[in-house]
C-alpha cells in the first residue's frame, strides 16, 4: 500500500487540480471502457504531476454499470507515492468494497436539491447524510480521508433554481461531520460567473475557503469563466476531467466536465502553479479521446496537437 504524502498547502498561487476523469469522465460513457484502458488512463495521469486522481466509484453496478470493475481497476493501478486516489462511495457497502482493495481516501456525495438526490442516489438529502454517518465514523477510525460533494449548487435539472441557502446548509453539514474538503458541483453546467462567485462567497462565509473546491461541468461553456470568478474569491482546489469527458447519468442534459488541460493552461497563463505537465496531460487527453472514438473535448488539447 502506498502511503500518501501531505498535500501542498493552498498557498496563494498554487492550485490543486482534482482530476475526476477516470470517475466522472467515464461514468456516463455508454460503451463499456475496458478495465485495461481505465488502468492505463490512471497510470498515464499519475505521470503528469497531478496530486489527486479520483480513480473510480464503488456505487451500485446496477446504477452505474460502467464502473462495475472498480475493485479490479483500483487493484491494478500503479499507485505513486504522493498521489491520492480517492473513490466515490455512496454508503457503507461501497466503503467496505473500497477498503477491501486498499482505498485510503473516499468521497461521499449528496446534493443541494432533493429532486436530484432522489434520482441519483434514491434518497433524500437527510437520508443520504444519515447513510454517510457510519462511513465517516469508520473512516475516522481507519485513518481514511473523506471528501464531500454537494451537487446541483447552481441549478437542478428537475427542480430548476436552487437556493444558495440550501447549498450552504448541506456543505456545512458535510464539513461538520468530518469531510476535509467540500466540492461544490455545478452538475449541469448552467452557472455563470457572478452566480458562481456569489454561491462560493456564501459558503465561504460559513466554512474556511481552504476547505472548498469547485466542480464545473461545461454544458453552457461557462466553466473556465466560473473557475476564474471563484479563484478571485480565494478557492484553490479545482476539479476537472482530462479531455473534458464526463457527466452524470442521473442529471438530464449534463455534459462534460471542464477539461483539465484547459484549466491548467488558464492557471499557468494567470501565473499560478499546478505542478502539472500540460503537454503530458494533453497527450493523455488525446489518448483517451482516441480510445473513446472521438476528438478530445479540450480546446487546449486540440490547439497543442495542431501546434
Does residue number 226 form part of the binding site for ligand HMG (CB under 6 A)?
A: no
| Residue 248 touching ligand HMG (CB under 6 A) | yes
| Given 37, 44, 49, 60, the residue binding ligand HMG (CB under 6 A) | 60
Please give the distance of CA 80 from its chain centroid, rounded to a whole number: 19
Other residues' Cβ atoms within 10 Å of the Cβ of residue 3 = 8
Q: Is 248 one of the annotated active-site residues of the chain?
A: yes
And the C-alpha cell for 55?
480513480
Q: Round to whole Å and give the CA distance between 43 and 64.
A: 22
260 binds ligand HMG (CB under 6 A): no
Nearer to ligand HMG, 85 or 250 (CB): 250
CB proximity list for 287: less than 8 A, separation 6 or greater: 41, 44
Contact map string, positions 189 to 218, toward ligand HMG, x by CB under 6 A: --------------------------x-x-
The single residue among 4, 187, 284, 296 that binds ligand HMG, judged by CB under 6 A, is 187
19 DSSP 8-state letter? E
Q: Which of 15, 39, 53, 59 binds ligand HMG (CB under 6 A)?
A: 59
How buried is 146 (Cβ within 10 angstroms: 0-12 exposed, 13-18 middle, 19+ buried)? buried
Query: Does 116 participate in binding ligand HMG (rule CB under 6 A)?
Result: no
CA pair distance 138, 151, nearest whole angstrom: 24
Other Cβ atoms closer than 10 A to 154: 26
- The residue ranges that bind Mg ion (CB under 5 A) are 24
- The residue ranges that bind ligand HMG (CB under 6 A) are 24, 27, 57-60, 63-64, 88, 90-91, 93-94, 97, 109, 120-122, 149, 151, 185, 187, 215, 217, 248, 250
Amino acid at each position: 500500500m502506498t502511503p500518501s504524502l501531505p498535500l501542498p498547502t493552498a498557498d496563494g498561487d498554487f492550485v490543486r487540480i482534482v482530476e475526476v476523469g477516470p470517475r466522472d469522465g467515464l461514468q456516463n460513457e455508454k460503451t463499456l471502457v475496458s478495465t485495461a484502458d481505465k488502468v492505463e488512463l490512471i497510470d498515464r495521469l499519475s505521470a503528469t504531476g497531478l496530486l489527486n486522481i479520483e480513480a473510480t466509484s464503488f456505487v451500485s453496478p446496477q446504477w452505474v454499470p460502467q464502473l462495475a470493475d472498480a475493485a479490479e481497476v483500483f487493484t491494478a493501478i500503479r499507485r505513486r507515492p504522493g498521489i491520492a486516489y480517492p473513490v466515490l462511495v455512496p454508503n457503507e457497502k461501497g466503503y467496505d468494497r473500497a477498503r477491501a482493495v486498499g482505498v485510503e481516501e473516499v468521497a461521499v456525495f449528496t446534493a443541494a436539491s432533493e429532486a436530484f438526490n432522489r434520482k441519483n442516489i434514491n434518497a433524500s438529502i437527510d437520508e443520504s447524510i444519515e447513510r454517510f454517518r457510519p462511513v465517516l465514523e469508520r473512516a475516522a477510525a481507519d485513518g481514511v480521508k473523506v471528501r464531500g460533494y454537494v451537487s446541483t449548487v447552481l441549478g437542478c435539472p428537475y427542480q430548476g433554481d436552487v437556493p444558495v441557502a440550501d447549498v450552504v446548509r448541506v456543505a456545512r453539514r458535510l464539513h461538520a461531520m468530518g469531510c476535509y474538503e467540500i466540492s461544490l458541483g455545478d452538475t449541469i453546467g448552467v452557472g455563470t460567473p457572478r452566480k458562481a462567485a456569489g454561491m462560493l462567497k456564501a459558503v465561504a462565509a460559513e466554512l474556511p475557503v481552504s476547505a472548498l473546491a469547485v466542480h464545473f461541468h461545461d454544458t453552457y461553456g461557462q466553466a473556465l469563466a466560473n473557475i476564474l470568478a471563484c479563484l478571485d474569491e480565494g478557492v484553490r482546489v479545482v476539479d476537472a476531467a482530462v479531455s473534458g469527458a464526463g457527466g452524470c447519468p442521473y442529471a438530464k442534459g449534463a455534459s462534460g466536465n471542464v477539461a483539465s488541460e484547459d484549466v491548467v493552461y488558464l492557471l499557468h497563463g494567470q501565473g499560478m502553479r499546478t505542478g502539472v505537465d500540460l503537454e503530458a496531460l494533453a497527450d493523455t487527453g488525446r489518448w483517451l479521446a482516441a480510445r473513446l472514438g472521438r476528438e478530445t473535448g479540450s480546446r487546449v488539447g486540440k490547439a497543442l496537437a495542431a501546434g
